[in-house]
Structure 1
Amino acid sequence: MKILIADDHMIVRNGLSQVLNAQEDMCVVAEAADGAEAFIKLEAQSVDIVLLDISMPPGENGLYTAKRMKEAYPKIKIVMLTMYDERQYMEEAISYGIEGFVVKSEPNEQLIQALRTVMNGGRYYTGINEADLSHLPHSDDEDQCYETLTKREKELLPLIALGYSNKEIASQLFLSVKTIEVHKTNIRKKLAINHYPELLRYCVKHHLIEF
């Protein structure tokens, strides 16, 4: 299996690459230091599984990156790697269609097992068996509002929350400033958010950005 590793710590990426490349059925074909780079690498490289850290500050949260990847590449398999075993993170990952969720405190053998399980069509979540996965709640009214956003609006949302100006966002996404202003207005209407602090709290609450 061809694997892309995304983690903001080079030592972690190097260690994971060494462990995974030692397996006969695994090959790390690309690495990334943050979500944006991971998305670019995925576009340029043939990958079977993305091993993605949840927390890669500053910028786009790993769960949000995973959600965007699933929307753009529905067939790609994703295993989240995290320091946290909080149920809220797991519920969000399940709602996004993410196949794996591994806590970093687990031994290497568990990570290897998780990757093989996911590659073979199964799901692996630390501490939760397959039968229990379907019983976890994972939606609310805010989730439904978020789903009304277009693909471009979802792309803009974390950039707006991080305080980038219209001009900076327009330059980064190769759009006009007027187009950005229209998208921002639509986002506020769909999420029923009128002020920047509310938008920032929304993005932090839903793990769309990291500081």
Structure 2
Amino acid sequence: MLALTQYDEQRFVKQMLKYGADGYILKSAGKHEILKAISSVKNGHVCLTQEAEAKAEGLRTAEEPDHLFPHLSDREKEIIKLLCHEYNTKQIAEAVHLSAHTIESHRSNIFKKVGVTNVAGLVRWAVNNGLD
């Protein structure tokens, strides 16, 4: 689901992501940005416009993620952050000097731990929990 709205307030961004939106785009966005968002969401990615992403930045809690998510290893948190920055498995493997197979194992474990089934769900979870 892609939310196309005039509301750019942080609380609206947070609510839409919480209730399952895969994207949040403002009506003031240009045609190219809207088409890119539609394509991105259609392909299973989470898409936030620059304005919405700036609002999502403020969703962070004051508490450090290490205290909020002790069940995630440091490596898993690193992989989540890279996935949120649109790295694919091969790029993550190169960045952290591990095999693609090991990255896939980490992804599978992460999905189970946070209760999601795909990268779009993981990115939504990370944004909602300040771990992106």
TM-score by length of 2: 0.49
Could you say which structure has the greater relative contact order, defined with CA pairs below 8 angstroms and 6 or more residues apart? 2
Which structure dedicates a bigger proportion of its chain to helix? 2
Q: TM-score, normalised by structure 1?
A: 0.32
